[in-house]
Amino acid sequence: MDFSNLKKEDNEIYNLIEAEKDRQMEGLELIASENIVSKAVLEALGSYPVNKYSEGYPAKRYYKGNEVIDKIENIAISRLKKLFNAPYANVQPNSGSTANAAAYFAFLNYGDKIMAMNLNHGGHLTHGHKVNFSGKSYNFVQYGVDQTTQLIDYDALFELARKERPKLIVSGYTAYPRAVDFKKFRTICDEIGAICMADISHIAGLIAGGEHENPVPYFDVVSTTTHKTLRGPRSAVLMCKQEFGEKIDKAIFPGLQGGPHEHVIAAKAVAFKEALQPEFKNYASQIVKNAKALAKYLQDYNYKLVSGGTDTHLILVDVRANGISGIEAETVLEKAGIYCNKNTIPFETFSPWDPSGIRIGTAALTTRGMKENDMLFVAEQIHLALQNKNDEIKLKEIKEKVNLFCNQFKFY
């Protein structure tokens, strides 16, 4: 990337941006919601459409001069629809939270009942947490996982749905490491007359790559971020049945947003094209292979995994079972150049700020070219760091070893 003008005009910010690039390249990025975009996506993000206001939709804007912008947005829509076999698509949401808010806004009135997974069991803040707009605006009924298996109990979920009769049911999660049976959600929604919604933000890339079931063609509405496993810019989209397209469009604009970020939409279009290439299927497959390998190696070190493993890019580790809290584990690992996040586990008995688990993912490592055998090194360094949590010298040595390892997998 050519940052010569930035370096000249604002050397302080330039140096910090370069430092962040170095941090990403020198460490093991295991945060499950993060990935590394291509240089083409980066270039689109820093391009001329950033200058343009384009409130409205293609061929129906509130400002003139959008003939080129319309073409960019239409290409993004077309590629997204092809990628997920979507009947209708809106590429304007600026974030996953906005996309979820728009889906609720399109179909519900404030105070209506929604059913979604409890945050501690793997749901998202926008799936009804009391501190979030969703929990404040709608009446959420929360389901969870079975206490023994830590898997979704679909029979219990369906029984709850029949009892509560929500107007909308959300499937899709932020910390659930197993495949979702979307067809079962469609069945219960049909039975009780509920809107059937999926939030596939974490597994969108796995769906696009053919590794997981695609709910888009037969669900009423599907939201997803465009980063994470989809490996695009930090943004979001909505897909829905054709008959709900106008509702979704009006919920985004003028309901929740003004002018869309067309430079980001251009970057989404680039990412969608990348995901449509045959090699993306290999990438999605490798993400899952790496996650399964990393899960096995961690289990070999006697770490307890929620649900006993993973079907996705994501692994949830109950580190408190090994005598360390989630916040302590993420802090120790950061000192070793290994980045993850603390996370609650199902039936958590501690605070979300000091939970029992850590959440790790393999999307970014896979983008950098790592394979299953490399996950042995990753697991070993995680274990060594946690075993030497109070030894600053040892943690520094581990970080140096991690840096040398990561130098083999430079992406930028």
Q: Residue 185 burial by CB count (10 A; 0-12/13-18/19+): exposed, middle or buried?
A: buried
- How distant, in Å, are the alpha carbons of 99, 105, 133, 136, 137 from that of 111? 19, 11, 12, 9, 6
Considering only CA atoms, which of 96, 97, 177, 123 is closest in space to residue 348? 123
Confirm whether 199 is a catalytic residue. Answer: yes
Q: Which of 31, 32, 116, 118 is closest to 348 using CA atoms?
A: 118
Among 55, 70, 146, 391, the active-site one is 55
Instruction: Please pick, among 228, 268, 292, 359, the residue that the annotation labels catalytic.
Output: 228
Shortest CA distance to 395 belongs to which of 378, 382, 411? 382
Q: Which residue in the list 126, 224, 225, 229 is annotated as catalytic?
A: 225
Contact in structure between 284 and 206 (CB atoms under 8 Å): yes
DSSP secondary structure letter of residue 352: T
Residue 314 CA to residue 18 CA, distance in Å, equals 28
Indicate if 399 belongs to the active site: no
Q: How far apart are CA 209 and CA 279, in angstroms?
A: 9
Q: Which residues pair with 224 in a beta bridge?
A: 237
Q: Catalytic site residue 225?
A: yes
* 279 exposure class (CB count in 10 Å sphere: 0-12, 13-18, 19+): exposed
Inter-residue contact 330 to 340 (CB < 8 Å):
yes
Q: Which of 172, 179, 121, 109 minimizes the C-alpha distance to 147? A: 121
- Has 283 been annotated as catalytic? no
CA-CA distance, 235 to 267, in Å (whole number)?
A: 10
353 residue type, one letter: W
Catalytic residue, from 199, 211, 274, 374: name it. 199
Active site residue 366: no
The closest of 95, 176, 383 to 375, measured between CA atoms, is 383
What radius of gyration, in Å, describes the C-alpha atoms of the chain? 21
Helices then strands (H, E): number in the chain? Answer: 16, 15
Say which of 79, 186, 234, 389 is annotated catalytic.
234
The Cα 76–Cα 174 span in angstroms is 25
Q: Which of 53, 154, 218, 301 is catalytic?
A: 53
Under a CB-based contact definition with an 8 Å cutoff, are residues 260 and 66 in contact?
no
Helix (H) or strand (E) holding 249: helix 245-250
Active-site residue flag, 187: no
Cβ pair 259, 54 in contact under 8 A: yes
Active site residues: 53, 55, 199, 225, 228, 234
